Amino acid sequence: MVETSLEKIFLHQKAASLRLRKQDISVRLEFLSHLEKAIQNNLEDISAALVSDFSKPKAETLLTEIFPVMHEIRLAKRNLKSWTKPKKVKAPITMLGTQNFVISEPRGVCLIVGPWNYPFQLCISPLICAVAAGNTAFIKPSEFTPATNKILIKIIKEAFPEEIVAIVEGGPETTQELLELPFDHIFFTGSTRVGKIIMEAASKHLSSITLELGGKSPTIIDSSANLKIACEKLVWSKFINAGQTCVAPDYILVQKNIINDFKSIFIATLNQFYGSSDLEKKNSPDFARIITQKHTERLQELIQNALSLNAEIITGGEVDLQNRYVAPTVLHKVDPHATVMQDEIFGPILPLIEFKDIHEAIHFVNERPKPLALYIYSQSESNISAILKETSSGGVCVNDSIIHLANPHLPFGGVGPSGIGSYHGVHGFRAFSHEKAVLRQSWLGILLRVTYPPYTGLKMKI
Ligand code: NAD
């Protein structure tokens, strides 16, 4: 049988991963330093690539693509020694004399499949965890970010030989080809739909998986919330990256008695951030474009469908297909059956839904698939506690949005349809490690003779 080029690289990586196991962690630390240096050497080009791919503002690239990965590398380098130390555990009295510990061993050869929305960070962050844990890896970035992929390839080649990290460009068919290989772990970031395809393919080889998926992340804002602060945080977190963020507030549940105040403060904040006229907003250098024309058309259809079901546009609504521009758009009186309330929006469209009391808001969330994130804006301890207890989501922010993912001490991941597993910091190291249980017997082990056959005499009287 003739090997494909992917199979050849896979076999080289398999051999390299066995060598890596034997080597001291100084080898991993060196690779992490190479990666850090390669990123530093290419900072300007990373920003330029993201401008080219979807006009992502440079400040947003620094904040959401560069800082998180630099922080992740430095955290891994600082903590690798303690993360890799065998962890002692206790033993029951019947195992007197034994030593018991857990060793984090590398999984082996890993596959990292990335999405287009944070195309640099979402390929490099999992890679840092994979390398820190002693693995080799293939990266398959999204086909929709050609400029970023070019710089990703340059950085990977500067930092790693191909037998440690390989990067393969292509669309779904390339992922399918890669999925034929018996990876030890697959780390996928993308849609819930494709997550199911990945999980099914992983079952063929029983590869372990981490699935970082999407969904509709709700925000609940009650009448006790500080509206000015809440609106600043919500406008920022919804419209950063033009709403193309997995944890962006997808829709907002607003308590009925504050809806008018909320609308006016939200719009005033939007105008303050991006300009007060439609034209100013369109020309704002701080507002990104939609990744492709096809994705822009999808967003246009979401607005049209909501309007056909009697939703009202409070602000925005403009879609310029040619320039891949969708204005920051707020919709009110949205029918829950409208597609904008069925599908993950993943763009700068924000539906507002009213609720009377907190139980109604909780019920609304619980009727839908478990989201990746949930945001609560409230000063009421009883409301906060009820939402935390009675809903399920990958993560929660109270009186803020999206920033929980910037704390590497918190695990970041979904639950059910929004994902399986988590990463960031030590959680990422664990995702790419197998926790091997080790029991080491001492001379006292001879006492266990009482458990051996033949089961006669005293043994039968126990
Ligand atoms: P996507 O699922 O369409 O694509 C992700 C990756 O899968 C790409 O590399 C793509 O080439 C590949 N792919 C697409 N179709 C495939 C198929 N049929 N078979 C095999 N591979 C296939 O996702 P996207 O549009 O790139 O990204 C948007 C989605 O990702 C949103 O749902 C968003 O919420 C989610 N997301 C999640 C996180 C997270 O951390 N949980 C982060 C970013 C994005």
Q: Which ipTM was obtained for this model?
A: 0.98
Gap from CA of 362 to ligand 1 centroid (Å): 28
How far, rounded to the nearest angstrom, does the alpha carbon of residue 142 sit from its chain's CA centroid? 15
pLDDT of residue 450: 85
% of residues, the chain, pLDDT over 90: 96
Tokens of 26: 């100084």
212 among known catalytic residues: yes
Mean pLDDT of 405-429: 97
Question: Could you report the per-residue pLDDT of 188-236, keeping only the tens digit for each?
Answer: 999 999 999 999 999 999 999 999 999 999 999 999 999 999 999 999 9
Q: Taking every pair of C-alpha atoms in the chain, what is the biggest distance, in angstroms?
A: 93
Q: In terms of Cα–Cα distance, which of 163, 221, 141, 139 is closest to 27? A: 163
Distance 189 CA to ligand 1 centre (A): 6
Strand partners, 220: 253, 376
| The one catalytic residue among 36, 65, 72, 212 | 212
Of 266, 214, 270, whose CA–CA distance to 240 is shortest? 270
* 222 Cβ contact list (under 8 Å, min separation 6): 255, 258, 358, 361, 377, 378, 380, 383
Token output for 199:
């999980």
Whether 197 lines ligand 1, by a CB cut-off of 6 Å, is yes
Whether residue 117 has its Cβ less than 6 Å from ligand 1: yes
Average pLDDT over residues 3-13: 93
Q: Say how far apart CA 72 and CA 424 lie, in whole Å.
A: 7
Give the nearest ligand 1 atom to 418 CA.
Answer: 41
CA of 431 to the centre of ligand 1 (A): 19
Backbone angles phi, psi at 81, to 5 degrees: -60, -45
Edge to edge, the sheet with strand 433-440 lists: 87-88, 99-106, 433-440
Instruction: Indicate if the pLDDT at residue 151 is higher than 80.
Output: yes
Instruction: State the pLDDT at residue 462.
Output: 61
For residue 126, what pLDDT is reported? 98
